[in-house]
Structure 1
Amino acid sequence: MGKVSKATKKFNRKYLNDELERRRKNKKAQELHKKRELKKSRRSKTNEDDEGDQNLLTGVEEVDDLAEFAASTLNGGKEDLSKFMQDEDDDDGDSTDSEDLAALLNEGESNTDSQDEDEVMSGDEDEEEEFKQQLEAMKEKDPKFFKYMEEHDPASLKILEQADKISDDSDSETADAKTHTTEGTEVTVEMLSQWESEIKKDNSIKSLKKLLLALYAASHMDTESAAESEYHIQGMKIFNKTVSTAIRVAPAAFAHYAPVENGRMQKGGRARVVQALLKSYLTSLVALLQQMSDPTMVQYLIKECERMAVYFGSFARHTRDLGRELLRQFGSDSADDGVRISALLALRAIVTGAGTETVDMALKGIYLTYVRHSSVKNMASLATIQTMRNCGVELYGLDANASYQHAFVYIRQLAIHLRNSMQLRSKESFRAIYNWQFVNSLAFWTEVLATYCGDRAEEEPRLCATLESLVYPLVQIITGVARLVPTAKFFPLRIHCLSLLLRLSAATGVYIPVLPLAIEILESPEFLARRPVKSTLKPLSLDALLKAPKEYEHTRVYLESVLESVFGLLADSIAAQSVRIAFPEWVVPATLQLRRWRKRVGKSWTRFSKQLQGLLDKIDQTTRLIQQNRARIDFGPSNLTGANQFMSSTSTDATPVGAYAASLRNVRAQQRALLLEAETAE
């Protein structure tokens, strides 16, 4: 054997153990992933939306230590969030390659999923034995009811075995419960009316069971189990009648046998008799929701699921199935705003009062669904994404600790993507940042923090106190994205970033220096050093763009659109400070730069030169107004409380520059409305 080199010895001493451990974990993760895929293949249906969660943001996976960081921050108080942008040698996010990260993530998700499934399955296996014990206890505690069951419906005492036929085909309770013909009994209107009458009259479990068997057949008409069902549905009339009858009478019967108290279903006593039927009803609702495409019918079924949210919450697997389907409906390209809002309300209903796992599933699912469908194509898709963002923000107001943990994890993920791009500085790394998914992710967290640390801070003080530490790192990320590629081609993206910073600053009251970033655009070579290219292209809207189209680069049409947006940002950022006691001094540097720009290039941009002069005049008027109010105060600069309360009762829109900024916003809103109307008409 040859002499071992120093490099080999050094590697063996420092890295060999870690490398072997990493490979063992990778191998174990791959084996677990294969087992998980095998389990999925055995299920009758899988959720396609769950695929690709780890490759959302242009294929960059989450770092495996993010959850640990979030948990430690929650348990240990406000951790120093400067770790967001640290570049440590032992950072797992840097040292572990993408394949190993995917394997580790698969291992974590596989363990979680298998654990959930084992818990649900073990609970289902014990249900039959527990049910027998409940029947024995019923003979002693409620002999009258037991006698009634024996006389009127003795078959219902074996409801678990019989109802297995209508349980979810992936449930462990699925079995042949009774002998029946292959074709099944055809359901008629008369049968449905009779069942409905008997259920309403004396809450007949026998009729309820028959009705739910028919509902199961209706909800699984296109599956293999339809041929084995005891009942057969012929025609849309019978289908609609069966569904409407079941939805009308079944919940009342369940409320009779399994009442809800203090937001939870009572599982003892008579509730055990209808538990399997209840599971069948919930399974049928989810199956119907998966089949429907008409928005009106989808909303109708979602509202029924929302009404049964307490019952769904009593069964972990059914809650998970409903959550996945609601998320699918929420992100469906064919869904309208009504369906999305209904899905959010139903999801909110099952999350309220649910366990940690359900809350985590909902928060993670709605964010990933939003990101997956956040690519902007036109003004219409921009409006849809805004609706989805508002819905997601609403859900993040339910649980302070869970919301903080998810926000921390995903904001840190964005920071890691940005840091990697700044270090590599390649086209591929820039492309990982300069895309709609990344920008709309920033917009999502901006809206979360602006809402709960600003607009609704007084309504949710605990949530505000928990989330406010994330404002600073988010501002750093947005600023870094804006300056990553400071070329004229990406002016639209920078304008989007500045709009996010303005929204965050105006809502939270945190001062963010937006003016320098806006003035940097005006002082770019596109305006100061080169002559714009004349073009006959139609006017351009930057709202649905991240970069200039190839044919618009360096053209006057494009640069005019940029100037319109920048002047709006200048007015908004100056107006946001127009009631501050230091406004006259604070605005001086910006005023000097704007006057200098107007003097240098104003002749080339006559229309915008006049618009800029109007803004400067409003700034002068606001300065005089602030100085007049300062002359009447009786406290000094050291009185911070008095300084913060200066003109606190005056709205920013009431100042001259604020009213000017509001008028520009109204014009832009009208232009967006016209563009959206034109797209809709086409």
Structure 2
Amino acid sequence: MGAKGRVKSLDKEVNDEEEKEETRSSTISKSESQAREHKSQLERLKEKDPEFYEFLKEHDEELLQFSDEDNDDDVDTDVEDAYVPVDNDIGRHGLAEKEDKPSRTVITTAMVDSWCNSIREKGNFSAIRSLMRAFKTACHYGDDGGDDSSTKFSIMSSSVFNKIMLFVLSEMDAILRKLLKLPSSGGKKETIMDLISTKQWKNYNHLVKSYLGNALHVLNQMTDTEMISFTLRRLKYSSIFLAAFPSLMRKYTKVALHFWGTGGGALPVVSFLFLRDLCIRLGSDCLDECFKGIYKAYVLNCQFINAVKLQHIQFLGNCVIELLGADLPTAYQHAFVFIRQLATILREALHTKTKEAFRKVYEWKFINCLELWTGAICAYSSEADFKPLAYPLTQIISGVARLVPTARYFPLRLRCVKMLNRIAASTNTFIPVSMLLLDMLEMKELNSPPTGGVGKAVDLRAILKVNKPTLKTRAFQEACVFSVVEELAEHLAQWSYSVAFFELSFIPLVRLRSFCKSTKVERFRKETRQLIRQIEANSEFTNERRKSVSFLPNDPAAISFLEDEKKLGASPLSQYGLTLRQRAQQRSDLLMESSVRVGEHSSVFGNKIPKIDEEADARNEEGATIFNSSWLPGIDSKTEKPKEMKEKKKKRKKEEHNRVAVEEDVVEELVLSSDEDESESDDIQSDGEDDGGKPVPPKKQSMKQKLPTNISKKVKSSAKKFKKRKRSN
């Protein structure tokens, strides 16, 4: 610093000291006038209420012996304590630091509009940089360290925040692609890998990283599902850039998986589409993490189930199956490991035969995992990468069905049979499930009269085990027998066009006739007879055509037997199975209607999404209804419910009422002019000590503190004592 600079600095310090001296003198003169006014108030009190004046004279004589000199001395002491002269070198250093500290610009709507117009019309790079700085400020608003002095801009209003967010999320992908000379949409990981070595990437990669990093930060701050959905939907177009930032890619994967598993409304769908796009575009870089993460999230969500949650679990399972299709060879490796884990749990239960081991198998988490891999094998049964998994999974499901062969686990066994029928139909492989079903019919619980009454309707899809009283009800017996007939008809209908149907259906036919004779329930007898007639009719149907064939049973030509009739579904069992499926669907719909529905459209997925939601998604794409002007990060105005606001208002009114009641105890004539400032200085005592009697640092003591305030406290205290004394007398 030159000589001129030092002279200017000294002149500035002298001016500051003169201003402080003037402030001191004005404070002292003001305190003198207040002291004189207080003295006159005490004299008026003597004339107005001599009895109370005598009480003060007797108990608090020091309060009446008030002088102006004492007041002046106290004020001078306070001011001198508060003002500490600074050494010239230290002062100059502090001033230099203050001058070096950058002043931040407050962002306004006009500034944002000018940046947006410059970017749209001219593609101004400086406007892009300014907008990205503002975007960073907006995304970090409300953070603990959000008041960072290094940022060029300070936080704006909520309307400006929303304008910045809408423009950046809607336009930044196109802007970045134009700067980096990329196609307007799409792309693969190789595109970014080739781009990294170019000059464009070196110049503009910081903008890409800033956009993705700040958007990820604000995603973690948001609580509104529509805002999160819109943000993820826009970021999906820029997911290709994550190939250059592996750490950001992992963080985005975790965030999307969290929203997929826990989100409501359209958020799970949007999150899944983001993950799927990530897997397709980035390939092996994120496949392992996505497959492991989505399976783990599925397991966490399917630990408990009820009639309402069934559709949601089915939706989550369909998402996992769809994501596996992004890379089947990689998916096979993960599926093999996960299915082997299930086999290990079952093997432990078979060997140890303890309740704890059985419980690990007979729980919703285990059964839903079997359902998931059954769906995956059915979806990709024609693929060579997935078909080998059908055999081990079939063995596991059969073992689970036979693990505890009691009537209380009828619902679980029926679920296992359904899974086996699905695998058999998709892989065109014979699986002997008829024995599992016929064993159920021969159990005494279904052959004895229902001693438990009619009972409530039982939804076998939503339970794995029933209690003992339910076993003896008519409703449970009917549900079990009807389900067994339906699944047995489904199994036999799959092979109703086989040249060996007569031999295949012989044992089931014999055991069905035995059950029909032994059961004492007419409804069950009627249902079984109808199935027997259909099996016999189908045997005649196949035997008639089998008479004209010339090939041997092991001839490959046997595969084409009744192929035309199979395409038309002409066999008696196929038509009968269709009727049973319609009846089962009607029964399922009735049970769903009687179940409690939680939340509007909370469990509606797939083709049941109403058109209203589709229209809402179209409007949400514009963003105007998403980022409204009442939200900022860290200040979620929507979370405060009207009921909570009412309770807060009531609480404030109650506190106000209590405060007024306390103040009414004070004699009105003794309320001095400085009492209004009492609440601001309650924590500072007249002698410069806090409530604990410790000296208060000079910074805590205000130079503008008024001495009469402290005197008024003493007067009020004396007034309360006087009133108590009067009441006791």
TM-score strictly above 0.5: yes
Per the alignment, residue 299 of structure 1 pairs with: 229
Q: Which residue in 1 is equivalent to 2:325?
A: 397
1:189 equivalenced with 2:109 (yes/no): yes
Distance 1:391 1:199 in 2: 39
Q: Which residue of 1 aligns with 2:390?
A: 471
Q: For residue 463 of structure 2, what is the amino acid of its counterpart?
A: L
Change (3 A) 1:179 1:531: farther
**Structure 1 residue 311 corresponds to structure 2 residue 229:** no
Whether contact under 8 Å (2:458, 2:476) holds in the other structure is yes
Partner of 2:31: none
Aligned to 1:238: 160
Give the TM-score normalised by structure 1.
0.68
Name which of 194, 204, 212 aligns with 1:274. 204
Map residues 90-105 of structure 1 onto 2, 5 A cutoff: none
Conserved 8 A contact 1:376-1:544: no
Q: How does 1:231-630 map to 2 (within 5 A)?
A: 231-260=153-182, 263=188, 264-265=191-192, 266-267=195-196, 268-332=198-262, 334-336=263-265, 338-453=266-381, 457=382, 464-528=383-447, 530-549=448-467, 551-601=469-519, 603-604=520-521, 606-630=522-546
Q: CA RMSD for the aligned pairs?
A: 2.1
* Range 477-486 or range 562-571, more displaced: 562-571
- Say which SS state the counterpart of residue 510 (structure 1) adopts: coil
After superposition, the C-alpha distances for 1:17-62 in whole angstroms (9 at most, x for unaligned) are xxxxxxxxxxxxxxxxxxxxxxxxxxxxxxxxxxxxxxxxxxxxxx
Secondary structure, counterpart of 1:489 in structure 2: helix
The amino acid across from 1:257 in the alignment is: L
- How far apart are residue 468 of structure 1 and its match? 1.8
Which amino acid is 1:607 matched to? R
Distance 1:475 1:674 in 2: 32
**Native 8 Å contact 1:492 1:546 kept in 2:** yes
Separation (CA, whole Å) in 2 of partners of 1:292 and 1:660:
54
Give CA-to-partner distance per residue, 1:593-621, whole Å, 9 cap, x none.
001101101x32x2222122111111122
- Corresponding residue of 1:199: 119
**Residue 558 of structure 2: which of 643, 647, 652 is its match?**
643
- Matching of residue 224 in structure 1 with residue 141 in structure 2: no
Give per-residue Cα distances to partners, 1:617-655, cap 9 Å, x unaligned. 111222222122223434333422x11111223248432
Q: 1:629 to 1:427 in 2, by over 3 A?
A: same
Q: 1:659 and 2:551 equivalent?
A: no
2:257 alignment partner AA: L
8 Å contact kept, 2:538–2:571: yes
What amino acid sits opposite 1:281 in the alignment?
Answer: Y
My pick for the range that moved more, 383-392 or 642-651, is 642-651
**Equivalents in 2 of 1:349, 1:198: separation in Å?**
32
Q: Percent of counterpart pairs with the same letter?
A: 31
Deviation at 1:385, TM superposition (A): 0.6
Mark the CA change 1:408 to 1:314 in structure 2 (over 3 Å): closer, same or farther: same
More displaced, 435-444 or 245-254? 245-254
**What do residues 333-361 of structure 1 show as CA deviations (whole Å, max 9, x unaligned)?**
x423x322222221111112425341100
- TM-aligned CA deviation for residue 550 of structure 1: 5.3
**Cα pair distance change 1:360/1:681, threshold 3 Å:** closer
Q: Deviations over 1:649-670 (max 9, x none)?
A: 3248432211211222122223
Once residues 381 and 490 of structure 1 are traced to their aligned partners in structure 2, the CA distance between those partners, rounded to angstroms, is: 21
Say if 1:239 and 1:380 are closer, same or farther in 2 by CA, change over 3 A: farther
Partner SS state of residue 611, structure 1 = helix
**1:379-427 deviation per Cα after TM superposition (whole angstroms, max 9, x unaligned):** 2211001001001001111222211110111111111011111111111
Q: How far off is 1:234 after superposition?
A: 4.2
Question: In 2, Cα distance between the equivalents of 1:291 and 1:562?
Answer: 50
Q: Which residue of 2 aligns with 1:16?
A: none
Alignment check: 8 A CA contact 2:216 2:252 kept: yes
* Residue of structure 2 in register with 1:169 after alignment: none
Worse overlay, 568-577 or 631-640: 631-640
Shift of 1:681: 4.9
Q: Aligned partners of 1:652 and 1:579: how far apart in 2?
A: 11
User: Shift in Å at residue 558 of structure 1?
Assistant: 1.9
| Secondary structure in structure 2 of the residue aligned to 1:248 | helix
Runs of at least 5 residues in structure 1 that lack an aligned partner in the other structure: 1-177, 458-463
One-letter amino acid of the structure 2 residue matched with residue 282 of structure 1: L
The answer to whether the Cα contact below 8 Å between 1:578 and 1:652 also exists between their aligned partners in 2 is: no
Counterparts of 2:464 and 2:174, CA distance in 1:
53
- Residues 412-463 of structure 1 show CA distances to partners (whole Å, capped at 9, x for unaligned) of 111101111111111111111111110011111111111101xxx2xxxxxx
Work out the number of aligned pairs and report it. Answer: 488
Distance 1:435 1:474 in 2: 17
- Residue 285 of structure 1 and its aligned partner are, at CA, apart by 2.3
CA distance, structure 1, for counterparts of residue 142 and residue 587 of structure 2: 48
Hey, what's the Cα distance between the residues in 2 that align with 1:360 and 1:384?
Answer: 24
